[in-house]
């Protein structure tokens, strides 16, 4: 125990202090000072100045009552106490200080063991609650409940409601703001003691910092046992351990403790789907969203991500997409993008984004537009589908948009339960057979025509043929297969079949365009 810590606890009765350099000296035990005392290292001596042996080293830790006018200037580690102080009282006070210190060290060891058991934050919180003999609650900066004591708190049904909901109630947040609890805790710089004016409950509150960033809050409620001095020291120590535990957590490491990360995580896993709760959480985070939302995922298909790369990639993308938030989830960087309209051009046609993806060997997938966060999980799955199907069909694209692969997705779903050929238009199979037999290109002509039905010039250009040649081939298709291409339903069925055909060819020999299984 450092001498300066003992001096702080004796602050009401000392006359003079040791030299500043001596105050950090560690001592392991105390003993009564007598003229016959023999010097021992790491021992502090309590007694009267008149009992000071002449042969003691001048840097011996001493706590002496000034019962005479002896010269003490040569003693560099002497704490001088007033003559009126009773030696037995002084001995009892210092013994109590030592007992508290030993108990503090014992509790610290227990908490350290809990931390390194790798059983998680909840286990650490359970051990802390047992040591304090009082409820411990840990929340993040976004008012999400990270962990709390296992034992119920019948006197506070609101806290029990928070346990079930997983976040702090709006009424309690407003109460804390009204009392300036967080501001006062920051100003105190140490665990802060307060009394709730509404419930009359007393609390110790302290912040958890990670790399200097305020990330969480630890609160201990004075419920079953009165607070003592060591409780404040233990709360401070617990905050340090919570910081370590959070940095051990893979989720925290990847997402750097961002307040919105927990909200995105709960939405992606499906844990949170209550629109009212989501709205409240957004309000607490002061996070305003437009009705035009999209999910964008980034993946390194070749190498996988490592932490340093995740941070660099995410930070760069945030500069390009400032109204977005991100999280690392299932090995991908997942962005929630809030746009000014439903267009996807800002992502799909932004040369800066496309260049960044290509230079860094990254692959993106983009969902359809949606308006409510309750659907985030569904649109995240669209991204997974887009990259799964898109990469199989076009393995070198930087961005795969779900809207480009909707028909293939429908075909994939059908093929899981049925023969896809049963849902294809028969004309396509006949076209394939005709092209193979006569070395013609009627199938790609039909595909281009259907793609650009109102702009035949573009269709002809994609085929590198003259417009008249395009019309000749289309008329030839009408004649050979007796099909009405002016019928929108027929055109839809033909296009769906062409999309299904892509699935068939990518599963087997790319040269085999047969629809039939």
pLDDT at 297: 95
CA atoms within 13 A on the CB side of 509: 5
Which CATH superfamily is 288-413 part of?
Reverse transcriptase/Diguanylate cyclase domain (3.30.70.270)
Tens digits of per-residue pLDDT, 209-230?
Answer: 876 667 889 999 999 999 998 8
pLDDT at 278 over 60: yes
Interval 191-200: pLDDT, tens = 999 999 889 9
What pLDDT is recorded for position 49? 85
Strand 62-65 relative to strand 78-81, pairing? parallel
Q: What is the pLDDT of residue 329?
A: 87
Best mean pLDDT range from 315-329, 336-350, 367-381: 367-381
Model confidence at 513: pLDDT above 70: no
What is the model's pLDDT at position 69? Answer: 82
What's the confidence (pLDDT) of residue 514? 58
- Mean residue pLDDT of the chain comes to 86
Residues 6+ apart with CB under 8 A from 135: 129, 148, 149, 151, 153, 159, 220, 221, 223
DSSP symbol at 398: S
Residue 249 has pLDDT above 80, yes or no: no
Euclidean distance between CA atoms 430 and 446, whole angstroms: 13
Domain with CATH 3.30.70.270 in the chain: 288-413
Report the alpha-carbon distance of residue 169 to residue 280 in Å, rounded: 9
Q: List, for residues 469-501, the tens digit of each pLDDT value.
A: 999 999 999 999 999 999 999 999 999 999 988
> Is the pLDDT assigned to residue 507 strictly greater than 70?
no
Instruction: Report pLDDT for 516.
Output: 55
Residue 136's nearest CA partner among 66, 205, 52 is 205
Tell me, what's the pLDDT at 59? 81
The answer, yes or no, to whether residue 307 has pLDDT greater than 60, is no
244-248, 441-445, 509-513: which is most confident: 441-445
Which of 248-257, 352-361, 379-388 comes out lowest in average pLDDT?
Answer: 248-257
pLDDT tens for 77-113 read 888 888 878 888 888 888 888 888 888 888 998 998 8
What's the order of all strands across the beta sheet hosting 202-210?
145-148, 136-140, 213-221, 202-210, 192-195
**Tens digits of per-residue pLDDT, 1-50?**
677 777 777 766 767 777 777 777 777 788 888 777 777 777 888 888 88
Is the pLDDT at 510 greater than 50? The verdict is: no
350 vs 164, higher pLDDT:
164
Q: What residues form DSSP beta bridges with 195?
A: 202
Query: What's the average model confidence in pLDDT over 162-173?
Result: 90
Determine the 3-state secondary structure of 62 from DSSP: strand
Confidence of residue 511 (pLDDT cuts 50, 70, 90): very low
Strands (E), 269-367: 292-299, 324-329, 332-339, 363-366
> Is residue 419 predicted with pLDDT exceeding 60?
yes
Q: Is the pTM of this model over 0.85?
A: no
Distances (CA, A) of 145 to 168, 216, 283: 7, 10, 17
**62-76, 308-322, 468-482: range with highest mean pLDDT:** 468-482
Residues of the chain with CATH 3.30.450.40: 117-248
Looking at residue 501, what is its pLDDT? 87
Q: Where in the chain is the domain with CATH 3.40.1390?
A: 3-98
Residues 409-434 have a mean pLDDT of 91
Share of the chain above pLDDT 70, in %: 93
- Residue 504's CB: how many other CB atoms inside 10 A? 19
Question: What whole-number percentage of the chain has pLDDT above 90?
Answer: 44
- 117-248 CATH choice from 1.10.240.10, 3.90.1170.50, 3.30.450.40, 2.40.50.100: 3.30.450.40
Q: Are 430 and 481 in contact (CB under 8 A)?
A: yes
Q: Is the pLDDT of residue 444 over 90?
A: yes
- CATH architecture, domain defined by 3-98: 3-Layer(aba) Sandwich (3.40)
C-beta atoms surrounding 414 within 10 Å: 16
End-to-end CA distance of the chain: 81
Radius of gyration of the chain (CA): 37
Q: How far apart are CA 442 and CA 475, in angstroms?
A: 10
């Amino acid at each position: 125990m450092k001498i300066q810590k003992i001096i702080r606890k004796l602050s009401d009765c000392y006359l003079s202090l040791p030299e500043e350099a001596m105050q950090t000296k560690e001592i392991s035990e105390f003993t009564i000072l007598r003229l016959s005392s023999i010097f021992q290292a790491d021992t502090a001596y309590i007694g009267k100045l008149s009992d000071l042996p002449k042969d003691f080293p001048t840097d011996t830790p001493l706590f002496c009552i000034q019962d005479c006018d002896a010269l003490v200037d040569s003693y560099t580690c002497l704490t001088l106490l007033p003559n009126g102080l009773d030696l037995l009282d002084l001995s009892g006070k210092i013994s109590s200080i030592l007992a508290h210190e030993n108990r503090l060290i014992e509790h610290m060891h227990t908490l350290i063991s809990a931390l390194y058991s790798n059983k998680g934050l909840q286990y650490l919180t359970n051990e802390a609650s047992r040591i304090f003999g009082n409820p411990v609650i840990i929340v993040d900066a976004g008012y999400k409940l990270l962990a709390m004591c296992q034992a119920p708190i019948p006197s506070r049904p609101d806290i029990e409601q928070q346990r079930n909901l997983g976040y702090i109630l709006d009424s309690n947040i407003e109460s804390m703001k009204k009392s300036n609890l967080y501001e006062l805790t920051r100003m105190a710089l140490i665990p802060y003691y307060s009394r709730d004016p509404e419930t009359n409950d007393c609390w110790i509150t302290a912040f958890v910092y990670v790399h200097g960033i305020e990330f969480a809050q630890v609160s201990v409620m004075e419920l079953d046992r009165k607070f003592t001095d060591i409780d404040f020291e233990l709360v401070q120590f617990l905050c340090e351990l919570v910081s370590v535990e959070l940095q051990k957590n893979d989720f925290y490491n990847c997402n750097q403790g961002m307040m919105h990360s927990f909200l995105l995580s709960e939405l992606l896993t499906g844990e949170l789907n209550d629109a009212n709760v989501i709205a409240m959480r957004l309000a607490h985070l002061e996070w305003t969203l437009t009705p035009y939302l999209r999910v964008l995922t980034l993946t390194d298909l070749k190498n996988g991500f490592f932490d340093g790369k995740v941070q660099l990639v995410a930070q760069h993308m945030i500069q390009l997409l400032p109204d977005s938030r991100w999280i690392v989830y299932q090995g991908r960087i997942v962005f929630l993008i809030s746009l000014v309209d439903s267009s996807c051009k800002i992502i799909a046609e932004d040369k800066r984004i496309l260049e960044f993806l290509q230079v860094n060997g990254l692959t993106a997938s983009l969902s359809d537009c949606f308006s409510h966060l309750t659907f985030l999980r569904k649109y995240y799955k669209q991204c997974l589908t887009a990259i799964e199907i898109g990469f199989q069909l076009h393995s070198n694209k930087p961005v795969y948009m779900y809207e480009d692969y909707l028909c293939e997705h429908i075909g994939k779903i059908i093929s899981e339960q049925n023969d896809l050929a049963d849902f294809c238009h028969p004309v396509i199979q006949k076209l394939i057979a005709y092209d193979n037999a006569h070395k013609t290109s009627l199938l790609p002509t039909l595909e281009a025509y259907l793609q650009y039905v109102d702009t035949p010039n573009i269709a002809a250009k994609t085929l590198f043929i003259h417009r008249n040649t395009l019309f000749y081939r289309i008329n030839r298709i009408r004649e050979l297969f007796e099909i009405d291409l002016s019928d929108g339903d027929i055109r839809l069925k033909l296009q769906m079949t062409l999309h299904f055909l892509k699935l068939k060819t990518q599963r087997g020999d790319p040269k085999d365009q047969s629809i039939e299984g």
